[in-house]
Structure 1
Amino acid sequence: MTASVTSLRFVAAVAAGFLLAGCAASATAPQQSVTTTVQSGAPLLPSALFPGSAERFQAWNCQPANQDLVTAVNGEELRLWSLHGAWRLPQAVVASGARYQEGEISFWNRGEQAQIETPRGQLQCQQGIHRDIATRASHPGVMFLARGNEPGWSIELANDTPVMTWTTAYGSETTTMPYMVSVMDNEAGRVVIENANAEEFFRVRIESGACFDDMSGEPYPARVTLTIGGEQYKGCGQGIAP
């Protein structure tokens, strides 16, 4: 399954304390809600949930805002996730290091340090933990993977049919369930899926944005909330391209 490619512009502002803000176009774009019957094939998820051809996710801690970011180098493009969403910055010419820029926004990486420049100021960032990208080779047939802790759980969305596999109790219990898409907002990188069988309600909310495993600290490009059986589980996830 190949994610649809949408152009995400990094038109942002830094809020008080130099916080990296969300994309203005995304904030004003109307939400595209889709109420549908069960699809015959798996849906195309927003490209903001995917790393592209990158080999790893890199975490950064930035000051003075004290916020964490996630990046992935995808050819000559940097994919960047903050708490407010996801953006793409094309590579720019620079004398040293690697610089990526879109308009007045830039990310300049030199070794374990990086600097983000915006119209309202700068963020100085220190490289943190990194994580290898989950691939189709290691997760055959999976389009999207998410997981969380305490208790350990994971979900996998199949790449060919609208089916979710939920594993809980640290891998000892597995259930496969059909789903339908109730919200698909490509601009914001947001998806909501719900059960296609009303006998057991569940809802999964997927939102693009920097996410970190609450035990290992490993970086991900999406925040995931699963509601099932009267319980709510929170974790991180990523899209898996072929």
Structure 2
Amino acid sequence: MALPAIPPPGRSSDGERVVKKVIVPFMLSLSVAACAGQVPAETAQASQDFHPDQRPLARTLVYECGDMEFIARLGPGEMAIWLEDRYLVLPQVRAGSGSKYQEADVVFWSKGDEALLEVAGRTYRDCRLNPARAPWEDARRRGVDFRAVGNEPGWHLEIREDDSVLFVGDYGASKLRFTDISRETGREQVFYTASHGADTLRATVVESECNDSMSGESFPFAVMVQINDRSYQGCGRSLDHPWE
């Protein structure tokens, strides 16, 4: 009786199948081990050239560079910028340090509190943020026609003619939006009334010089607001939309 042939070590009756099962995983493990921890030089350099921008996303920023100013709004990997004569979106580009954005002849660079803007070869240095103006410019770009502010507690009112009135009170803790509004015009004053559910609003805008009780800033309108049984006094101004 013939005994079945016994394949030599490392082989099977199917030829080199066992060898492949052993060698291929072994070679793959060597390849993975050799590549672990190694990043191509060009990839490492590119990651170092793009520095994370620490400024807040989706928030309107006002920069003042001496006698020149511009408005900016930051998005992921890009920055929208409003200049006096145009609107641009600047993509982020590589920089040796800080964060840099560029489109055509407009370049913006910032690092910490430092910032500069270059337009058509002219450089504006020492650009500084003006946080006090940012809410007004943000409201302007959201289509608000009139904005008023007051203190103790902090509040603000935003009016979009023929659309809605937004009242934000108690330092931002409470918000009421009214869409069913009516407007009456008197001598050097305008009255707004609105209601929403159990809440009612009456706002009086008077054309009279008004100074903010905390900042001392001067405004062209005095504003009185009554929300239900609470009254507020403050100052306001109209907002134009020159890009429309």
TM-score, reference length from structure 1 = 0.41
With a CA cutoff of 8 Å and minimum separation of 6, indicate the structure with the bigger relative contact order.
1
The structure with the larger Rg is: 2
